[in-house]
Amino acid sequence: MDELDRRLINRLQHGLPLVRHPWQSLAEELGTEPQTLRERVQALLDDGTLTRFGPMFDIERLGGAFTLAALSVPEERFDQVAELLAAMPEVAHNYRREHAWNMWFVLGCATPQGIADALARIEAQTSLLVLNLPKEETYHVGLHFAV
């Protein structure tokens, strides 16, 4: 990672400029070319430095729903259940935690009923109880990691 990559990552944590040509505006700000920035982002994704690059939508304002959920998965079934969740389009991501509830995941659906249906499907397919932790209140924390 060179200095331009660092400056790009630090800047992107604050979002793309909300203008007609955001990459051009960002390139002028960082002293390079738009194509160079797009190539850098792709290279950082390809090498695993970045795991995701894309918009963050407020799904509830768009009429959808999401929830945080967890499963207590026996170790011998962990990979199998993780693959099942990863194959579901409703699952944004899932991850292991060192806890009795050792598999956590986020569901995003077009409707609140979609959440209920997905949770029921997960319970039916895994024979495991899902701990559903819907959001009660929204807090915005401006968290940025300088690199």
Q: How far apart are CA 141 and CA 124, in angstroms?
A: 36
The architecture in CATH of the region 65-133 reads: 2-Layer Sandwich (3.30)
Confidence of residue 36 (pLDDT cuts 50, 70, 90): very high
Rg (CA), the chain: 19
Hey, where are the domains in the chain? 3-46, 65-133
Confidence of residue 119 (pLDDT cuts 50, 70, 90): very high
pLDDT tens digits, one per residue of 52-103: 888 877 788 888 999 999 999 999 999 999 999 999 999 988 999 999 999 9
DSSP letters of 79-144?
HHHHHHHHT-TTEEEEEE-SSSS-EEEEEEESSHHHHHHHHHHHHHHH---EEEE--SS-------
Q: How far apart are CA 57 and CA 7, in angstroms?
A: 24
Q: What is the mean pLDDT of the chain?
A: 94
* Alpha-carbon distance values, 68 to 24, 71, 119, 145 (Å): 37, 11, 11, 23
When the candidates are 1.20.1630, 2.30.29, 1.10.10, 3.40.50, the CATH number that belongs to 3-46 is 1.10.10
**pTM of the model as a whole:** 0.66
